Amino acid sequence: MSQQVLLSKSLPELTTWVENQGQPAYRAKQLHQWLYAKSIHSLDSVTVFPKQWREKMAEYPVGRSTIHHQTVATDKTRKYLLRLNDGLIIETVGIPSSKRLTVCVSSQVGCPMACNFCATGQGGFTRNLQAYEIVDQVLTVQEDFGERVSHVVFMGMGEPLINLDEVIASLESLNQNVGIGQRSLTLSTVGLPNKIAQLAAYHLQVTLAVSLHASNQTLREQLIPGAQNYHLDTLLKDCRDYVKTTGRRISFEYVLLAGVNDSIWEAQELAQKLKGFQCHVNLIPYNPVQEAPYKRPSPGTIKAFSEVLDKMGVAVSVRYSRGLDTDAACGQLRASRLPVT
Ligand code: SAH
């Protein structure tokens, strides 16, 4: 059951809470503003509240984490290790660019999907995050940069569709409370049976990114052990249905691993499967991970793979990850520093 904290609550929910505390309803509006726009960590700092009440409520759980450790990459990407209320550590990344501030959030502590090229997947699974713990990550980055977050991608630790209820609640809160447009929220998944249809039923305008990484089931289940009970053909059918239901285009992620999934015939096989599909393929040249034996393909191979897709009518781009030198790039996230107690 969700812990009762203030963060992620909507204005009507805050109004009920404020009234239950014997305070006038208008205080909920103030609280909403201080929670989401001023990123408070304690009710004690809400100076518009009467001093006596503030002091009495100083220990009431707001739901904020603390920054356990932070690194800044040469490209200005900031990686945070955040300590949750139960002492567990998760990773969050703030990625600035000229017009955007993107946050890459975690949806679980660890991940059970066990993808063998991903540092998080190799580290095992501990627990799901609650909605407020996802919203907190965005506020932490917003506060640290002193700038509004414009985009959020669920590409940190974890598989969001395993934790669908809390992830949906966090998407709604990020949209309605933090004020980030639904189209600027991206959920990335390896896909799980029936879950894509469940997500579609919410009719959200968020962007769905599906991690494919292989053009056939045999190779896909070698790379993603968690994909064994979900055939690639079923996944792609569910993706087509998702596009029909939501009217939104899907992004497919494809990590390019040298000599493993980067051949011309695999590009052709992929293009064949995606023919006539309203989608976009993001090729992600592999980022080195200590535990994995893979290598990044040469620029020539990456270009050749991308050209096959392009020529066969599939929209494609190559995405070079940010934050490589601090292990903050895709697949490198891992709570490497244990908390000091
Ligand atoms: N579990 C979700 C969310 C994590 S997203 C998912 O898999 O989609 C992380 C993205 O980075 C995914 O597309 C993932 O496959 C990719 N990734 C993982 N390890 C990587 C690595 N070492 N190099 C490049 N991309 C990687």
Query: What pLDDT score does 276 carry?
Result: 86
- Asked if 206 contacts 171 with a C-beta cutoff of 8 angstroms, the reply is yes
Look at residue 230 and tell me whether its pLDDT is greater than 80. Answer: yes
For the residues 6-25, what does the mean pLDDT come to? 96
Q: Annotated catalytic, 115?
A: no
Tokens of 72: 């800044």
pLDDT greater than 90 at residue 141 = yes
pLDDT band at 340 (very low <50, low <70, confident <90, very high): very low
- Centre of ligand 1 to C-alpha 118, Å, is 6
Residue 71 half-sphere exposure toward CB, CA atoms < 13 A: 17
Q: Which H or E run includes 236? A: helix 232-246
Whether 186 contacts 148, CB under 8 Å: no
Cα 141 from Cα 96, distance rounded (Å): 10
Cβ atoms < 10 Å from Cβ of 277? 18
CA atoms within 13 A on the CB side of 36: 22
What does the pLDDT read at residue 320? 83
Q: What six digits make up the tokens of 64? A: 């904020």
**104 catalytic per annotation:** no
State in Å: Cα 272 to ligand 1 middle. Answer: 23
| Summary mean pLDDT of the chain | 93
Report the run of H or E that residue 168 belongs to, with start and end.
Answer: helix 164-176
Among residues of the chain, what percentage have pLDDT more than 90?
Answer: 85
Residues of the chain with CATH 3.20.20.70: 66-326
Averaged pLDDT for residues 92-108: 96
Q: Is the pLDDT of residue 336 over 60?
A: no
Nearest CA to ligand 1 atom 6: 189
For residue 186, pLDDT beyond 50: yes
Q: Where in the chain is the domain with CATH 1.10.150.530?
A: 11-56
- Dump pLDDT digits (tens) for 249-278: 999 999 999 999 999 999 999 999 998 888
Burial (0-12, 13-18, 19+ Cβ within 10 Å), 290: exposed
Q: How far apart are CA 168 and CA 187, in angstroms?
A: 10
Measured CA to CA, the distance from residue 164 to residue 201 in angstroms comes to 12
Residues contacting residue 237 through CB under 8 Å, at least 6 positions apart = none
Residue 190 in contact with ligand 1 by CB distance below 6 A: yes
What is the pTM (predicted TM-score) of this model?
0.94
* Fold of domain 11-56: DNA polymerase; domain 1 (1.10.150)
| Architecture in CATH for domain 66-326 | Alpha-Beta Barrel (3.20)
Q: Residue 341: its pLDDT value, please?
A: 36
